[in-house]
């Protein structure tokens, strides 16, 4: 498969991964008897004690694979030095972190007091701790990525009009991540996380769509040059 067609497919995979994750979060939420999207984070929908946890596991893994695809697709597509190299690497690392988080599940809903007491007493599994660790890494990588890409987009005509949007996304996402970490509003972290993810995933969809569009133009067959009739000089007339 030509490289341009591969990149186009990778761009649409990024879009699909974000959409599937979003759909899975709503479907998994509806499958719970008791769940507060305002208080509880999305990971709790894939926890060991969640109902129909496989739905959210699939969604998290799909998002990870989509981000991995976007990072691979953007390699070599932006021409602005070191930032154009670091940006795709951040997306690949984010994707791998989300895939790991999908399989290394929490034991319980970390935003609930009973679960926090279990964590503080050490009464949780190794995969609960691993999920929290790679989850933090995934969010940090994904928040930094728009800021790095904003720098990379400076001089590339295919991407330069996305620079202000990427910069605004990165600044807003960083502010939301700080709110999530500090938790100044007790019982609202689930909603803060959802807003943070919405901001970032819209940006991922925009980048994936742009990648697919640019690669699609490069992959389009070009019409052959018209040939002059036999025996006629091309300079005649």
Segments forming the whole domain that contains residue 200: 3-110+122-211
Tell me how long the chain is: 237
Is 229 a member of any domain?
A: no
Compute the mean pLDDT over every residue in the chain, rounded to the nearest whole number: 89
Residue 153 φ then ψ, to 5°: -80, -5
Please state the separation of Cα 144 from the chain's center in Å. 12
Is 149 a member of any domain?
A: yes
* Number of domains observed in the structure of the chain: 1
Question: 73 with 11: CB under 8 angstroms?
Answer: yes
CATH value at residue 50: 1.20.1070
Question: 97 with 125: CB under 8 angstroms?
Answer: no
Is 223 a member of any domain?
A: no
CA 6-135-107 angle, to 5 degrees, is 120
Is 236 a member of any domain?
A: no
Rounded to the nearest 10°, the torsion over CA 74, 78, 80, 86 is 0
Has this prediction a pTM greater than 0.75? yes
Report d(CA 27, CA 141) in Å as an integer: 27
Is 200 a member of any domain?
A: yes
The pLDDT tens digits for 163-218 are 999 999 999 999 999 999 998 888 899 999 999 999 999 999 999 999 999 987 76
């Amino acid at each position: 498969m030509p490289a341009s067609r591969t990149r186009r497919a990778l761009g649409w995979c990024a879009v699909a991964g974000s959409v599937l994750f979003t759909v899975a979060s709503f479907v998994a939420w509806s499958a719970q008897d008791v769940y507060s999207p305002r208080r509880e984070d999305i990971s709790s929908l894939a926890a060991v004690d969640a109902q129909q946890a496989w739905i959210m596991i699939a969604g998290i893994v799909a998002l990870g694979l989509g981000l991995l695809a976007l990072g691979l697709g953007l390699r070599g597509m932006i021409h602005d030095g070191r930032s154009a190299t670091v940006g795709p690497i951040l997306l690949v690392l984010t994707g791998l972190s989300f895939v790991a988080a999908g399989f290394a599940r929490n034991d319980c809903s970390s935003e609930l007091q009973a679960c926090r007491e279990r964590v503080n007493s050490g009464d949780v599994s190794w995969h609960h701790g691993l999920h929290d660790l790679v989850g933090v890494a995934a969010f940090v990588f994904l928040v930094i990525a728009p800021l790095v890409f904003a720098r990379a987009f400076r001089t590339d005509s295919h991407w330069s009009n996305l620079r202000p949007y990427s910069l605004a996304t990165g600044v807003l996402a960083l502010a939301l991540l700080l709110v999530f970490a500090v938790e100044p509003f007790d019982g609202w972290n689930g909603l803060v996380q959802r807003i943070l993810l919405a901001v970032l995933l819209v940006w991922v969809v925009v980048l994936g769509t742009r990648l697919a569009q640019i690669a699609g133009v490069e992959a389009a067959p070009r019409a052959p040059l018209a040939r002059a009739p036999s025996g006629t000089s091309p300079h005649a007339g």
